[in-house]
Amino acid sequence: MQCSFTCTGRNTENGLHVTFYDRDWQKLPFARHYPVERRAMSKPVNYEKMVELAERLSAPLKFSRVDFYEINGKIYFGEITFFPGNGMEEFSPEEWDYKLGGLMRL
């Protein structure tokens, strides 16, 4: 399963919100450590290209998070990480930790 997430509200009074989406940009029903953004988020204009690039970069890996930013219609690469949140950020509801983890074949 491929999923994407947005980070909104960094450095604001309300703080960071992390919202997960499925491949079709439908909001997923869980949170990971941070609250979920309530307002609807538009899919990035370059979303399909970002997914394509992430799939190419992560192809040889069992698991990774590939970060991109879209600024003024341009894609910028952020990082690849193998342990988001040090692997310690909790899911709510907790069952999603197991659902997503169960998809990994080590």
Say whether the peptide bond before residue 93 is cis (omega within 30 degrees of 0).
yes
- DSSP bridge partners of 84: none
Dihedral, CA atoms, 105, 76, 31, 26, nearest 10 degrees?
A: -90
For 21, the 3-state DSSP assignment is strand
pLDDT classification of 86: cutoffs 50, 70, 90 = confident
Query: Are 90 and 101 a contacting pair, CB within 8 Å?
Result: no
Q: Domain-by-domain residue ranges, the chain?
A: 4-101
Closest CA to 37 of 10, 59, 3: 10
| Beta carbons of 75 and 68 less than 8 angstroms apart | yes
Q: How far is CA 99 from the centre of its chain?
A: 15
Global confidence as pTM = 0.90
The answer to whether residue 104 scores a pLDDT higher than 90 is no
pLDDT at residue number 96:
95
